[in-house]
Amino acid sequence: MNRLLPTLLGLCVGLTVFGFAGPDPVRAQLPDEFTNLKVFPEDIAPRNLIGAMRSFSQGLGVRCTHCHVGEEGQPFSEYDFASDDKPAKRKARFMLEMSMQLNDEILPGLSQVADRREPGVRVQCVTCHRGVAVPRQIEEVITQTISDAGTAAGIAKYRELREEYYGQGAYNFGEQALIRTTEALGEDYDSALAVLALALEYFPESVQAWVGSAQAHQAKGDIDAARAALLEAQELAPDSPQIARMLERLGTP
């Protein structure tokens, strides 16, 4: 188990912000002995365990109750932290072992290929999770929501996530991510057009979104709408030979 300690402490590195200088109100409410640790050493110092738990919570953007049996608002002394009832806790334990393997077994091999960064970059929960519980990219979230619940639900989902996470690095809210989403939608041109309209709402100068809209309209056989979209693109990029060629190919109305 001792082999693991450097990694475990590594997981806590980001936690020095909390200082632990004075009494910690969270620690005071927690048991001093842990009865169901399978990855961390049984005799881990409570402050290190709590540090790791905080980095789990922050890495995933969740509260302790995401993984532990307990009611929000109750004192921690009422929680059953040892219980493995919640699937999220069991998955987190697997993830912890996976992260340790990456850091301790796989990444050291990088130096056989070329010198590693000094100090080495450690994989933490937040490296993949970026503050969200399920580490999917925004493109995947939108396309999946569209296929499960329809175009409007996909668009609403984007707005909702943007509202909640903008500026936190959790998702890519840039123009390109929306363009890539339309590519992933394949022949669902109506959904693609809705996503491109969304892109134009946030990025009104997006030439790519207008050109994409033109292509989707054309694929649907709506040549007038395709031409109108290309003219918008041309207004933004008057010197583009590609747009001129596309317009030429559509013919005059």
Query: Cβ 236 to ligand HEC, closest distance in Å?
Result: 38
- Rank residues 125 and 246 by Cβ distance to ligand HEC and give the closer one: 125
- Rank residues 68 and 180 by Cβ distance to ligand HEC and give the closer one: 68
Q: What would the two tokens of residue 110 be?
A: 């990088």
Q: What would the two tokens of residue 170 be?
A: 């959790």
Query: Cβ 56 to ligand HEC, closest distance in Å?
Result: 4
Query: Cβ 214 to ligand HEC, closest distance in Å?
Result: 36
Place of tokens 């005799």: 43
42 Cβ contact partners less than 8 Å away, ≥ 6 residues apart:
34
How far apart are the C-alpha atoms of 7 and 103, rounded to whole Å?
7
Given the rule CB under 6 A, which residues bind ligand HEC?
26, 30, 34-40, 53-54, 56-57, 59-60, 62, 64, 66-68, 76, 81-82, 88-89, 91-93, 95-96, 99, 123, 125, 127-129, 133-135
How far apart are the C-alpha atoms of 162 and 206, rounded to whole Å?
18
Query: Cβ 70 to ligand HEC, closest distance in Å?
Result: 9
How far apart are the C-alpha atoms of 36 and 50, rounded to whole Å?
15
- Rank residues 9 and 30 by Cβ distance to ligand HEC and give the closer one: 30
How far apart are the C-alpha atoms of 103 and 252, rounded to whole Å?
61
- Rank residues 39 and 107 by Cβ distance to ligand HEC and give the closer one: 39
Cβ atoms of 11 and 55 closer than 8 Å: yes
Query: Cβ 167 to ligand HEC, closest distance in Å?
Result: 22
Work out whether the CA dihedral 37, 66, 133, 32 comes out positive or negative: negative
- Rank residues 68 and 217 by Cβ distance to ligand HEC and give the closer one: 68
